[in-house]
Chains A and B, each alone.
Chain A
Amino acid sequence: MNNDAKRSPARRAAEVGLLAALAMALSYMERLIPPLIPAAPGVKLGLANIATLFAMYQMGVSEAFMVTLVRCTLASLLFGSGTSLAFSLCGGLLSVGVMALMMHIPGVGELGTSMAGAAAHNTGQIAVAATIMRSAALFSYLGWLLLLSIPLGALIALSYQPFKRVMPYIRRT
């Protein structure tokens, strides 16, 4: 999985940059999709996590953290507000942390990892929102978000599959 001998720091920076750019493009693109579900406004597909999953499985956890950090920061600065940075980062970093743990649990594969990541991302965001608003009322919304993380997490894991074959080609260049 990690061929550190072949990966100079410059190369790793380039690969992380590429993935981060991809994650941002995906993140921007999914904002163009109209709200999916009336009960849960603001729910997003989380397509950027395809890049995160790729980084986790093909590169390593630290690369995945870097991709998430860059993606959340830049996307919030460009498209969001100051508060959305806090949200996005908390959700994203918690998500990568949980996924890093889940990956190593025997019996859990990409599907479970992705679903857990989606659930963690939503939980992190709602926890930040509830803290900012000083109200527990938002946790009812988290209930719907958690249920949605199951199919959406599965969607992301499925969307990641075709990309597994790409890495050898990148390595060869």
Chain B
Amino acid sequence: MRIRIGDIAVALIIAAAGVSLLAGFVPRGDAPELAIVTQDNIELARFELGALGAEQRVEIDAPYHLVIQAEEGQIRFIEADCPDQVCVHTGWLVRPGQVAACVPSGVLIRLEGENRDDLDVILR
């Protein structure tokens, strides 16, 4: 297979797009404060991970049975009935900006840090 100049151009363009998307979502700070669980963008629960104490769990029944486990400083999907299990495989979320999603159920766990915004710059 010959590698042609256009192929390299394509690779560079894709890399540039990938890097810009990653740069746009830089997690800030190391201590996650807030974990927000939403379904179809409607908030179901929020946890102050910094001050949690004992482990807490959220169970969701429809459309798939999901269990979310929140502990001091981290949160994850621990069980899911969905066919692809991507949510469970994501594992623990520990840094602000991290996200875990169960797309078939529409459930999202989002971690936010000290600044409540995910924005880099606010222009007034």
Contact = CB atoms under 8 A, between A and B. Distances in A.
Q: Max chain A CB contacts within 10 Å: which of B10, B18, B22?
A: B10
Interface size bucket, B side? 35 or more
Contact of A111 (B1, B25, B106): B1
Q: Max chain A CB contacts within 10 Å: which of B18, B22, B41, B104?
A: B18
A70 B99 CA distance: 32
Interface string A72-108: 0000000111111001000000000000001001111
A83 B40 CA distance: 13
Given A42-B86, A150-B14, A83 B104 contact: yes
Interface stretch (A5-13, A15-23, A127-135): A127-135
A83 B104 CA distance: 6
Contacts of A102: 10
A119 interface: yes
A107 B104 CA distance: 40
Nearest to B38: A135
Interface string B1-41: 11111111111001101111111110000000000001011
Nearest to B97: A140
Contacts of B1: 109-111, 157-158, 161
A149 interface: yes
B89 interface: yes
B7 A143 contact: no
B5 A107 contact: yes
A50 interface: no
Interface of A: 35, 38, 41-42, 79-84, 87, 102, 105-112, 115-116, 119, 129, 132-135, 137-147, 149-150, 157-158, 161
Given A82-B104, A135-B38, 7 more contacts: A80-B83, A81-B83, A84-B104, A115-B7, A133-B106, A134-B40, A135-B110
